[in-house]
Amino acid sequence: MKQNPNSKTEITFEDFKAEVLKDYKLAVTSRECSLLGRREVLTGKAKFGIFGDGKEVPQIAWAKAFENGDFRSGYYRDQTFMMAIGELTIEQFFAGLYANTDLKEEPMSAGRQMGGHFATHSLDENGNWKNLTEQKNSSADISPTAGQMPRLLGLAQASKIYRNVNGIDTTKFSKNGNEIAWGTIGNASTSEGLFFETINAAGVLQVPMVISIWDDEYGISVHARHQTTKENISEILKGFQREEDTNGYEIFRVNGWNYPELIDTYQRAAQVSRKEHVPVMIHVQELTQPQGHSTSGSHERYKNEERLAWEAEYDCNAQMRQWMIANNIATDEELSTLEKDVKKAVRDGKKAAWSAFINPIKSEKQNIIALLEKVAASSANGVFITKLKNNLNSIDEPLRKDLLSTARKALRYIVSEDSSEKIELQNWINTYIETIQPKYSSHLYSESEHKAQHQNEVLPIYSDNAEDVDGRVVLRDNFEAIFKTYPEALIFGEDAGHIGDVNQGLEGLQEKFGELRVSDTGIREATILGQGIGMAMRGLRPIAEIQYLDYILYALQIMSDDLATVQYRTKGRQKAPLIVRTRGHRLEGIWHSGSQMGGILNLIRGIHVLVPRNMTKAAGFYNTLLESDEPALIVECLNGYRLKEKMPSNIGKFKTPIGIVETIKSGDDITLVSYGSTLRLVEQAAKELLEVGINAEIIDVQSLLPFDLNHDILKSVAKTNRIMVIDEDVKGGASAYILDQILNEQNAFQHLDSQPKTLAAKPHRPAYGSDGDYFSKPSVEDIFEAVYDIMHEASPMDFPKLR
Ligand X SMILES: Cc1ncc(C[n+]2csc(CCOP(=O)(O)OP(=O)(O)O)c2C)c(N)n1
Distance in Å, CB of 33 to ligand X, minimum: 17
Per CB under 5 A, 678 contacts Mg ion: no
Site for Mg ion contains 74 (CB under 5 A): no
- 188 binding ligand X? (CB under 6 A): yes
* Residue number with the smallest Cβ distance to ligand X: 186
Which among 211-219, 321-329, 399-407, 713-721 is the span making contact with ligand X, rule CB under 6 A?
A: 211-219
3-state secondary structure of 491: strand
- Nearer to Mg ion by Cβ, of 218 and 551: the residue is 218
CB nearer to ligand X: give 80 or 521.
Answer: 80
The strand pairing partners of 761, in sequence order, are 730
The nearer residue to ligand X, 281 or 635, going by C-beta atoms, is 281
Cα distance between residue 263 and residue 65, in whole Å:
8
Pairing label, strands 696-700, 662-665: antiparallel
**Contact of residue 293 among Mg ion, ligand X, none (CB under 5-8 Å per partner type):** ligand X
Residue-wise over 171-210: b if at least 16 C-beta within 10 A, else e?
eebbbebbbbbbbbbbbbbbbbebbebbbebbbebbbbbb
Q: Are 186 and 233 in contact (CB under 8 A)?
A: no
Which of Mg ion, ligand X, none does residue 220 bind (CB under 5 to 8 Å by kind)?
A: ligand X
Whether the CB-CB separation of 569 and 120 falls below 8 Å is answered with no
Using the rule CB under 6 A, which residue among 40, 141, 216, 494 binds ligand X? 216
| 138 contact choice in ligand X, Mg ion, none (CB below 5 to 8 Å, kind-dependent) | none
216 vs 488, beta carbon nearer Mg ion: 216
Binding piece for Mg ion, criterion CB under 5 A, among 2-10, 179-187, 258-266, 639-647: 179-187
Give how many residues touch ligand X by CB under 6 A. Answer: 14
Nearest residue (CB) to ligand X, 142 versus 342: 142
Give yes or no: 764 in active site. no
Cβ closer to ligand X: 143 or 650?
A: 143
CB of 535 to ligand X, least distance (A): 24
Report how far residue 153's alpha carbon sits from residue 201's, in angstroms, rounded to the nearest whole number.
8
- Which of 172, 195, 192, 170 shows the shortest CA–CA distance to 73? 195
Nearest to 456 by CA among 624, 230, 634, 691: 624
Is the distance from CB of 598 to CB of 733 less than 8 angstroms?
Answer: yes
Of the candidates 71, 74, 88, the residue with the CA atom closest to the CA atom of residue 30: 88
Least separation in angstroms between CB 296 and ligand X? 10
Question: Which runs of E-coded beta strand occur in 142-238?
Answer: 181-186, 209-214, 218-219, 222-223
**212 counts as binding Mg ion under rule CB under 5 A:** no
Stretch that binds Mg ion, among 22-30, 47-55, 184-192, 759-767 (CB under 5 A): 184-192
Q: Which of residues 569-628 bind Mg ion (CB under 5 A)?
A: none
Residue 9: count of CB within 10 angstroms of its CB: 4
CA–CA separation, 340 and 524 (whole Å): 51
| Contacts of 421 by beta carbon, 8 Å cutoff, 6+ apart | 371, 374, 375, 377, 378, 379, 414
**Distance from C-alpha of 207 to C-alpha of 201, rounded to nearest angstrom:** 9
In 302-419, where does DSSP find H-type helix? 305-314, 316-326, 332-378, 382-393, 400-413
Partner interacting with residue 145 (select from Mg ion, ligand X, none; CB below 5-8 Å by kind): ligand X
Where do the H-state alpha helices sit in 43-175?
56-65, 79-84, 90-98, 148-164
Q: What is the rounded CA–CA span in Å between residue 528 and residue 531?
A: 5
Phi and psi at 634, nearest 5°, equal -115, 120
Q: Which of 299, 592, 608, 711 is catalytic?
A: 592
Task: Assess 184 for contact with Mg ion (CB under 5 A).
Answer: no
Q: Is 218 in the site for ligand X (CB under 6 A)?
A: yes
**Which one, 217 or 364, has the nearer CB to ligand X?**
217
Instruction: Name the one range near ligand X by CB under 6 A: 212-220, 403-411, 506-514, 708-716.
Output: 212-220
Q: Which of residues 71-110 bind ligand X (CB under 6 A)?
A: 77
Where in 282-301 is the site for ligand X (CB under 6 A)?
Answer: 293
**Residues 138-157, interacting with ligand X (CB under 6 A):** 143-145
186 sits near ligand X (criterion: CB under 6 A): yes
Using the rule CB under 6 A, is 571 a contact of ligand X?
no
Q: Does 49 bind ligand X (CB under 6 A)?
A: no
What DSSP assignment string belongs to 590-601? TTSS---HHHHH
CB of 692 to ligand X, least distance (A): 55
Beta carbon nearer to ligand X, 46 or 50 = 50
Identify which range of 171-179, 218-226, 387-395, 736-744 contacts ligand X by CB under 6 A: 218-226
Under rule CB under 5 A, how many of the chain's residues touch Mg ion?
Answer: 5
Question: Min. distance of Cβ 181 from ligand X in angstroms?
Answer: 19
Q: Does 219 bind ligand X (CB under 6 A)?
A: yes
191 binds Mg ion (CB under 5 A): no
Shortest Å, Cβ 211 to Mg ion: 15
Q: How far apart are CA 505 and CA 343, in angstroms?
A: 62
Nearer to ligand X, 187 or 448 (CB): 187
Nearer to ligand X, 221 or 744 (CB): 221
* 232 scored as a contact of ligand X (CB under 6 A): no
214-273: contacts with Mg ion (CB under 5 A)? 216, 218
Q: 310: burial class by Cβ within 10 Å (0-12, 13-18, 19+)?
A: middle
Task: Kindly provide the residue ranges of all beta strands, DSSP E only, lying in 10-93, ordered along the sequence.
Answer: 71-73
Binding mask 600-639 for ligand X (x = CB under 6 A): ----------------------------------------
CA gap 631, 652 in Å, rounded: 19
The total number of residues shown for the chain amounts to 803
Among 66, 214, 554, 737, binds ligand X (CB under 6 A): 214
> How many helices and strands, by DSSP H and E, does the chain display?
27, 22
Question: Rounded to whole angstroms, what are the CA distances from 571 to 152, 424, 567?
Answer: 21, 31, 6
Residue from 92, 100, 189, 379 touching ligand X (CB under 6 A): that is 189
Of 174-182, 213-221, 255-263, 765-773, which part binds ligand X (CB under 6 A)? 213-221
187 is a site residue for Mg ion (CB under 5 A): yes
| Cα separation, 284 vs 185, whole angstroms | 10
State in angstroms the smallest separation of the CB of 289 from Mg ion: 7
Kindly tell me which of 220 and 436 has the beta carbon lying closer to Mg ion.
220
Pairing relationship of beta strands 703-705 and 608-610 according to DSSP bridges:
antiparallel
- What is the contact surface with ligand X in residues (CB under 6 A)? 77, 143-145, 186-189, 214, 216, 218-220, 293
- What is the contact surface with Mg ion in residues (CB under 5 A)? 186-188, 216, 218
Residues marked as catalytic: 592
